[in-house]
Amino acid sequence: MNPLTSAQQMPFETLTQDAYRQLEHAASLKGLLKPFKGKGELEHLAQMAREIEAQLCDLMEAVVQQAGQPPYSLLDIRLVLQNTSAGSTFLRWRTRDFARMGVSVWERQVCNKAVPQVVREGLRRFECNRIALNLQMSVVHSLYRQATTCAIKMDSAERLLRQFTTAVEISR
């Protein structure tokens, strides 16, 4: 029996709503769309974004583990986690020898006639999960960076006002 055809016996576990349930409660735009009174609220928002990033990483790890199981582990590609210099993590396709990276690596496998249709379908589902998780990570990481930057700016504005107020009171 061709080991690649064993995908028919191994059900593909998609990321269901249950996998996202914990994230759903933590990530509410309601907390974003309000007037922020100071840097503390923005720091709290940044902390929430960091926690959501960690949860997204857990989901990404689950997808990577599943993509590392037979029959997918028998292919010439790997789904891997890549940490960026900006401090976030993304899912990337790589060749087994790590010589190439990107969607073209995935496309080559999906278009390979030697790969059974059921395996190609599994690869498509992995790619859809990869796309969605990378989008979510990008948005949440951007929110983190923006909240952190805004907290610094608010702190600077508050500090400048205090300094000016102190200088005015001293000069009286």
Residue percentage of the chain with pLDDT more than 70:
82
Query: pLDDT digits over 15-73, tens only?
Result: 666 666 666 555 566 667 778 888 999 999 999 999 999 999 999 999 999 999 999 99
Alpha carbon separation from 29 to 19, 33, 138 (Å, rounded): 19, 6, 16
Higher pLDDT, 37 or 3: 37
DSSP state letter for 76: S
The least confident of 20-24, 80-84, 121-125 is 20-24
Phi first, then psi: what are they for 94, rounded to 5°?
-140, 155
- Provide the pLDDT for residue 169: 84
The label of the residue with tokens 């349930």 reads: 21
Can you state the angle between helices 39-67 and 17-26, rounded to 10 degrees? Answer: 170
Query: What are the residue boundaries of the structural domains of the chain, listed by start?
Result: 38-171
- Provide the pLDDT for residue 7: 47
- Compute the mean pLDDT over every residue in the chain, rounded to the nearest whole number: 87
pTM for the whole thing?
A: 0.81
CA 53, distance to chain mean position in Å, is 6
> Measured between alpha carbons, how far is 107 from 119 in angstroms, rounded to an integer?
13
Residues 6+ apart with CB under 8 A from 130: 63, 79, 91, 93
